[in-house]
Amino acid sequence: MKYFILFILYLCIVPVYFVLRNETKPKKNIVLGVTLPYDARQDATVQAICATFRRRLNLVTLGLVLLSLALLPIAYDSVFMTCSFVWIIFAVVLPYIPYIQGNKRLRAYKNATCPPAAAAGETLIELKLAALPKRQLHALWFLPPLIMALIPILHTLFMPHDEAFLWMLLAYGMDFLITLLFAALYRLINRQRADVVDENSALTAALTRVRRYQWGRAWVAFSWLNGLFSLGLWLLIDVPTGILLLTLVYTAALIAVCIRTEFAARRAQESLTAETGQTLFADEDRYWLWGMFYCNPHDKHLTVNNRVGIGMTLNFAHWGGKLIFGISALLLLAMPLLGVWMMRLEFTPIAITLDEDTLTVVHTGVVCELERAQIESVALLEALPPLTKLAGTNLDSLYEGKFRVEGYGVCQICLNPQAPPYLLIQTATETWIFGAEHTGDLRAIYAALAAP
């Protein structure tokens, strides 16, 4: 699990590093989020600012990588996860500090030495292009992945139902809805305004086609990957290791598509605008805080295109942009609290007591209270059968929640998988498997329950 999480952490930092490093290459007259005239791109001061940014970005990224490796000796899953969540916050924030520093220095230098653009502060819109018909990929491209995501749902609906029916239907249903969402989001491409750089309508059309073409390929790829993931999840549902490997491959493939698409668009933008910025050119720097955050009260759109690449960002002058950003920031900062909750789960011992009438299991709260009269059978397991989590927690030292267990169906579990034996109890409606911190107490409870 640690190496799986470490792999995910690197998937977070590596794309950010290369995308930010690419910001020093002029695209659409923009370097480090600052619009520059053609003659200023090779200016010695501009190049020195870019070099300083790259050097600082390298140091920050190296520090984050070394910090992630320092997490590996942590023995407890919950502590490791808490530290990983804190690392993610660092990874989201720290690489952008050199970028902001470079943007501010470059913008100050531009204001001091470069003449203002003829279209500075204006939002240029190409009306001729807006009137042209918008070509879209045929909807049939999205039909096969939707069918793939639908197969597990249909199989679950028409096969005999067991106690895991609702959990399986929920998981497969979510995958289907995500695949459907990818198909729907593709339609957003043509709602964004064209990429206007200067008065050249042909260049505007070319840049807009690049963005829409790359976006279209990305959404189709996302849909197909999610459809295949749904099929794989269905086929490997009882193979936890297989699901883990499938998730790794799926995540890596999604990020690979994102990186490939983003840099294909950036290379095209760099090539197409290599000679622009010599006369009239669009300069919207005043609406981009630190070159990253779009804040234009005159623009009523909630989302706009990123300045370079293919992504979209929020308009922070729009109330919806402020709301979404605030919620996202709160969720990001709250991530370590999930780790703290996991620590409470992992470090709280499981206690089982039996009095004259009732068996009580307590973890962080009361897990269950079973009347002796409810218990139909009891067994002591020296090893756990193969099982698959449906809902709950499966840390190295704590399994708690609903699991599908080979030979017993869906069971409620609360135990440390590293500390056998385990008490298996069956009632008329449920099957429970418990562990306890003191195995001697567990064996004594089993003896008391099994006694005639």
Does 270 or 135 have the greater pLDDT score? 270
How confident is residue 59, by pLDDT bands cut at 50, 70 and 90?
Answer: very high
DSSP state of 136: -
Helix 2-22, helix 44-69: angle, nearest 10: 180
* pLDDT score of 121 more than 60: no
Mean pLDDT score, 413-437: 90
Q: For the ranges 11-20, 145-154, 219-228, which has the lowest average pLDDT?
A: 11-20
How many whole angstroms separate alpha carbon 359 and alpha carbon 363?
14
- The rounded mean pLDDT for the chain is 84
How many whole angstroms separate alpha carbon 156 and alpha carbon 148?
14
Contact (Cβ atoms closer than 8 angstroms) between residue 388 and residue 404: yes
How many whole angstroms separate alpha carbon 226 and alpha carbon 297?
37
How confident is residue 63, by pLDDT bands cut at 50, 70 and 90?
Answer: very high
How many whole angstroms separate alpha carbon 88 and alpha carbon 234?
30
**Which amino acid belongs to residue 326?**
G
**Which amino acid belongs to residue 379?**
A
pLDDT at 131: 43
Contact (Cβ atoms closer than 8 angstroms) between residue 220 and residue 137: yes
How many whole angstroms separate alpha carbon 401 and alpha carbon 59?
43
pLDDT at 62: 94
Q: For the ranges 146-155, 183-192, 343-352, which has the lowest average pLDDT?
A: 183-192
* pLDDT score of 129 more than 50: no
Rama region for 121: left / alpha / beta (φ>0; ψ in -120 to 50; rest)? left
Give me the DSSP letters along 44-102: HHHHHHHHHHHHHHHHHHHHHHHHHHTTTT---HHHHHHHHHHHHHHHHHTTHHHHHHH
How many whole angstroms separate alpha carbon 111 and alpha carbon 413?
65
Structure tokens at 424: 């298996």
pLDDT at 432: 92
**Which amino acid belongs to residue 47?**
Q
pLDDT tens-digit map of 149-189: 999 898 888 877 666 677 788 888 888 998 888 887 777 66
DSSP-derived 3-state class of residue 335: helix
- At which residue do the structure tokens 């440390």 appear? 416
Classify residue 343 by burial, with Cβ atoms within 10 Å: 0-12, 13-18, 19+.
middle
pLDDT tens-digit map of 305-322: 888 888 788 888 888 888
Domain ranges in the chain?
117-283, 351-450
How many whole angstroms separate alpha carbon 252 and alpha carbon 259?
10
* CB atoms inside a 10 Å sphere around CB 81: 25
How confident is residue 428, by pLDDT bands cut at 50, 70 and 90?
Answer: confident
pLDDT at 140: 81
Buried b or exposed e, range 182-194, using 16+ CB within 10 angstroms: bbeebeebeebbb
- At which residue do the structure tokens 């973890």 appear? 363
How many whole angstroms separate alpha carbon 6 and alpha carbon 277?
43
How many whole angstroms separate alpha carbon 32 and alpha carbon 53?
9
Give me the DSSP letters along 108-142: HHHHHHSPPPTEET-----HHHHHS------GGGG
Structure tokens at 128: 């001729």
DSSP state of 161: P
* pLDDT score of 123 more than 70: no
By percentage, how much of the chain surpasses pLDDT 70?
A: 90
How many whole angstroms separate alpha carbon 312 and alpha carbon 314?
7
Does the reported pTM lie above 0.85? no
Which residues in 149-199 belong to E strands, given as ranges? none
* pLDDT score of 248 more than 80: yes
How confident is residue 133, by pLDDT bands cut at 50, 70 and 90?
Answer: very low
* pLDDT score of 122 more than 60: no
